[in-house]
Structure 1
Amino acid sequence: MIDFWLAAGLLLLVALSFLLIPVLRSRRAQLEEDRTALNVALYQERVAELQTQQEEGVLDAAQMDAGRAEAARELLADTEGVAAPRVSRLGKPAPLLAAVLVPVLALGLYLHFGASDKVELTREFSQPPQSMEEMTRRLERAVAAQPDSAEALYFLGRTYMTQDRPADAAKIFERTVNLAGRQPELLGQWAQAQYFADGKQWSEKIQALTDEALKADPKEVTSLGLLGIAAFEGQRYQQAIDYWNRLMEQLPPDDQSRVALQGGITRATEKLVASGGKVAEAPAAKPAARLKVHVDLAAELKGKVQPGDSVFIFARATSGPPAPLAAKRLTVADLPATVELGDADAMMPQLKLSNFPEVQLVARISRAGQPTAGEWVGRSQPLASSTTAPQTLTIDSPDK
């Protein structure tokens, strides 16, 4: 902040210099006026002296005129180049008053409307924190400076959880949800913080948060893990095993938490068996969807397309998100062609063909290479995502 205030001080000095210039000029003009008045007084004294000499008979009329003319020339020479005095309606106090008020007013406006706290935070975040406590203080100041920043609130909530401050984290995550919307991940974080803040006591509020999160995203990892913990603490070991198995399916193979999660599943299994129970077999995995599609171009369109035009072939849910579930890209030169669309071609992990019972096949020609808009299109009737029979799709209609 020191360099900022130095720069601000220099700018104020420049502004003050413009305000003080009239004062300095007025002082110079005053000096010039005083010198001119002295020259006029000397001239008058010289003329009076010449008149006395003429009256005493020392000078005749011609000498008197010559002396007067010489005194006038000397007066003109002394006053030559002196600017005429300028009259200011503001007077001398106005610039001086402005010179005092401008920096005071500027400082007041900056402190009220400025962002010195944000400038300081930016400088702080450019340097790595020396401890977790320092990082927490920075995030708290960031939230105070930007109370509408959902991102800053989210990171502060996560930091509170790492410091075993779940009650503070729950309040922060609630604010984050109010700002960013009821996103599944945020609801899961809020429910987890609230669970530990309540001393690991399950409540209707926590149940409602996890239910809402999993309804929006059945694979929301924080909610799955939390439900497994709550089930284990409540000695509902089979439910804990089921939730944790679902969570295990979402984790990458190299995720470090898989070891701890598997340990939890093992302990829940042992306790279930020790209590006389039997571990239920996991339901058979749903077979991966795979649709085989033969795509061709209508004969009447072959003269209206170019070999290099892009062809996008995709499947989308008839009742669900508009985003494609699986897609392939070809060119007109590749047609006719047979492609397979399956779970391996999913655009996003949570949007697989097998997760939606009914889909529609679409093939679109786009000269600009845009999958969402083109010139020609072909669409199938809705069909089950589990369909195994080959499908035929003909591009034959203008894309509207």
Structure 2
Amino acid sequence: MIDFWLAAGLLLLVALSFLLIPVLRSRRAQLEEDRTALNVALYQERVAELQVQQAEGVLDAAQMDAGRAEAARELLADTEGVAAPRVSRLGKPAPLLAAILVPVLGLGLYLHFGASDKVELTREFSQAPQSMEEMTQRLERAVAAQPDSAEALYFLGRTYMTQDRPADAAKAFERTVNLAGRQPELLGQWAQAQYFADGKKWSDKVQALTDEALKADPKEVTSLGLLGIAAFEGQRYQEAIDYWNRLLEQLPPEDKSRVALQGGIARASEKLVASGGKVAEAPAAKPAALLKVRVDLAADLKAKVQPGDSVFIFARATSGPPAPLAAKRLTVADLPATVELGDGDAMMPQLKLSNFPEVQLVARISRAGQPTAGEWIGRSQPLASSTTAPQQLTIDSPDK
């Protein structure tokens, strides 16, 4: 920030020079003008003396003319090289007043319309915070500087939650939803913060938020975890177990929170049994999908491709998101080849083959190595994701 103000100060000096230099020049011109006026007065005084001497008979007409000519030559010599006086319509006070007002006005406009706070925030965020309190202060200043930034508000809300400030977090998440839309994960975060802000009391507002989130995304993890907590606190242990089991299915195997979640399920099971209940058996897990497909190249295309061209083989839902559910990458040199596409090849944890009843197999050749665009393609007919019979896929058509 000091570098910025130094640069601004140098630019200000340059700007002031354009205003003050003409004033200094006018002062020098004024001095020249005053000296010229003095020389003219001396000339007139000399001529008057000559006239007095001629009247007294000391000088004749020829001597008078010679003296006048000598005085004129001296005047001409003294005034030679002096520029004609400049006439300024502004006068001297105007530039001096402008020299004072310009920096004051510029500073005022910058403080009002400028972005010095954002410049300072950018400098601060380039350095790692020393504490959680410092991080919170930075995020609060970022939100103040950019009140329409949903991302800044979201991270501020998460930070408030880690500092056990759920009421502030709920307000931050509410503003985030108003800016970014009613996305399921945002609604879940808002519901969780509101629940803890209300002293772990379930309310119609929290219920409405979780209902809306799970209606849009039945696998929204924050809402599932929150409903499990609320059910456990309300001694509805079977509900807690069911919600937490649903949440457990969404977490990747390496997720550290799985241990705590499994511990919560165990405690809920113990309390349910201790109260005379019986833990309901969890529904059988849906078998993981696994499709086997043999990929080959049409005979008339073998001369048109190169061995190093990329081959992308993937399955996508016939009714659902356009993103691939599972994908493998080979080269033309590997063809023909048999590959397996299953839940383990999912591009995203929530998009698995087993979650969609019907899929289509696609193989694309891309010389540029782009999975979304290429030169040649092959597509299968729609088939059930539970299909176990090997499939044949031939790349035979231009990719349009």
TM-score scaled by structure 2? Answer: 0.91
Residue 225 of structure 1 deviates from its aligned partner by 1.3
Residue 399 of structure 1 deviates from its aligned partner by 1.8
Residue 349 of structure 1 deviates from its aligned partner by 1.5
Distance change >3 Å, CA 254–CA 288, structure 1 → 2? closer
Residue 306 of structure 1 deviates from its aligned partner by 2.8
Q: Which residue of 2 aligns with 1:297?
A: 297
> For each residue in 1:258-309, what CA deviation from the matched residue of structure 2 results, as whole angstroms up to 9, or x when unmatched?
4432332221111111111122222222222111111122223233333332
> For each residue in 1:211-269, what CA deviation from the matched residue of structure 2 results, as whole angstroms up to 9, or x when unmatched?
33334444432222111101111212122122223333444555443443233222111
Q: Is the deviation greater in 244-253 or in 230-239?
A: 244-253
Residue 328 of structure 1 deviates from its aligned partner by 1.5
Distance change >3 Å, CA 370–CA 106, structure 1 → 2? same
> For each residue in 1:344-400, what CA deviation from the matched residue of structure 2 results, as whole angstroms up to 9, or x when unmatched?
211112111111111001111222222112222111110001111011111222222
Distance change >3 Å, CA 260–CA 300, structure 1 → 2? closer
Q: Is the deviation greater in 61-70 or in 154-163?
A: 61-70
Distance 2:71 2:376 in 1: 104
Residue 319 of structure 1 deviates from its aligned partner by 0.7
Distance change >3 Å, CA 261–CA 151, structure 1 → 2? same
2:250–2:350 Cα contact (<8 Å) kept: no
Residue 34 of structure 1 deviates from its aligned partner by 1.0
Q: Is the deviation greater in 270-279 or in 192-201?
A: 192-201
Residue 61 of structure 1 deviates from its aligned partner by 4.1
| SS in structure 1 of the partner of residue 313 of structure 2 | strand
Residue 311 of structure 1 deviates from its aligned partner by 1.8
| SS in structure 1 of the partner of residue 135 of structure 2 | helix
| SS in structure 1 of the partner of residue 377 of structure 2 | strand
Residue 8 of structure 1 deviates from its aligned partner by 3.5
Distance change >3 Å, CA 296–CA 134, structure 1 → 2? closer
Distance 2:64 2:28 in 1: 36
Distance change >3 Å, CA 396–CA 265, structure 1 → 2? same
Distance 1:365 1:216 in 2: 36
Distance 1:100 1:352 in 2: 69
Distance 1:316 1:297 in 2: 20
Residue 318 of structure 1 deviates from its aligned partner by 0.4
> Where does structure 1 lack aligned partners over 5 or more consecutive residues?
none
Distance 1:125 1:396 in 2: 52
Q: Which residue of 2 aligns with 1:338?
A: 338
> For each residue in 1:309-354, what CA deviation from the matched residue of structure 2 results, as whole angstroms up to 9, or x when unmatched?
2221111000111011111222223222221111121111211111
Distance change >3 Å, CA 328–CA 132, structure 1 → 2? closer
Distance 1:362 1:66 in 2: 116
Residue 128 of structure 1 deviates from its aligned partner by 5.3
2:192–2:223 Cα contact (<8 Å) kept: yes
> For each residue in 1:103-150, what CA deviation from the matched residue of structure 2 results, as whole angstroms up to 9, or x when unmatched?
232133223211233334344445555654444343323222211011
Distance 1:328 1:157 in 2: 39
> For each residue in 1:52-84, what CA deviation from the matched residue of structure 2 results, as whole angstroms up to 9, or x when unmatched?
334444444444333333222221221112110
Equivalent residues, number: 400
Distance 1:287 1:26 in 2: 94
Q: Which residue of 1 aligns with 2:229?
A: 229
Distance 1:288 1:107 in 2: 66
> Where does structure 2 lack aligned partners over 5 or more consecutive residues?
none
Q: Is the deviation greater in 74-83 or in 20-29?
A: 20-29
Q: Is the deviation greater in 73-82 or in 13-22?
A: 13-22
Distance 2:231 2:270 in 1: 15
RMSD: 2.3
> For each residue in 1:166-206, what CA deviation from the matched residue of structure 2 results, as whole angstroms up to 9, or x when unmatched?
22221211110121222232121111011122232223432
Distance change >3 Å, CA 258–CA 362, structure 1 → 2? closer
Distance 1:291 1:326 in 2: 10
Distance 2:186 2:98 in 1: 54
2:140–2:156 Cα contact (<8 Å) kept: yes
User: Alignment identity in percent?
Assistant: 94
